[in-house]
Amino acid sequence: MFVGSCPGYSRFYAHPVSIPLIAHRFDLYPYQEIAWGYPVPTMVKPIPDVVSTDHYAFQVVETPGHCAGHICLFEPSMGWCFTGDLFARENPKFIRPEENIGQIIESMHKVIELPTERLVLLTAVGKIVQDGRKAFGRCISYLTDLAAKVRRLHRSGATVEEIMQQEFGGEHPFARLTNNQFSTYNLVRSLLEK
């Protein structure tokens, strides 16, 4: 889900799939409330194909995989791509249960192919990646190679837990902090589904 507003404007936008989620109160995991506070239900408008400010025009690029309705905002003249949660690192060790690695890889390929000489990623974790194509390429290679290993182990009879132990040394500590929302288990499961 990506919610955006334009500086100096009182318009708030979201992907149509996300609008009902933003408009209603829902239960949060404790880590979510600690990290982001409790969101107030808000009415937002469907995001247009282009979001314009006084100086820039951002193209809306649908990038499913992290969640339904996930988007990136792309400014072609500068090569900026606000990736939201599509990219946090080149070698992820855990994901949430609703994330889909196959769709994430497809979305990364879509962003790599955007028409710009340089691609700068501005991520939700505050990281700015100057060579976005290289970073996405490394992430795609990592996930593709990992998927091949995970499937090979699974075909030989290994369980998800055994694969986690062999490839990652077990579950990531972040799982315990997030009520198993961000977990290595979710990553291995999604790789097997890809």
Q: What's the Rg (C-alpha) of the chain?
A: 18
pLDDT of residue 42: 86
Whether 190 shows a pLDDT value over 50: the answer reads yes
31 alpha carbon, distance to own chain's centre:
18
Instruction: Write the CATH number for 62.
Output: 3.60.15.10
H or E element that contains 21: helix 19-23
pLDDT of residue 194: 65
Give the residues across from 72 on adjacent strands.
Answer: 61
pLDDT of residue 5: 47
What is the spatial distance between Cα 28 and Cα 40, in angstroms, rounded to a whole number? 12
Number of domains within the chain:
1
pLDDT in tens, 24-70: 887 888 888 887 788 888 889 999 999 999 999 999 999 999 999 99
Q: Which residue segment(s) compose the domain that 44 sits in?
A: 3-193
For every residue of 97-155, DSSP letters joined together read TT--HHHHHHHHHHHHTSS-SS-EEEETTS-EES-HHHHHHHHHHHHHHHHHHHHHHHH
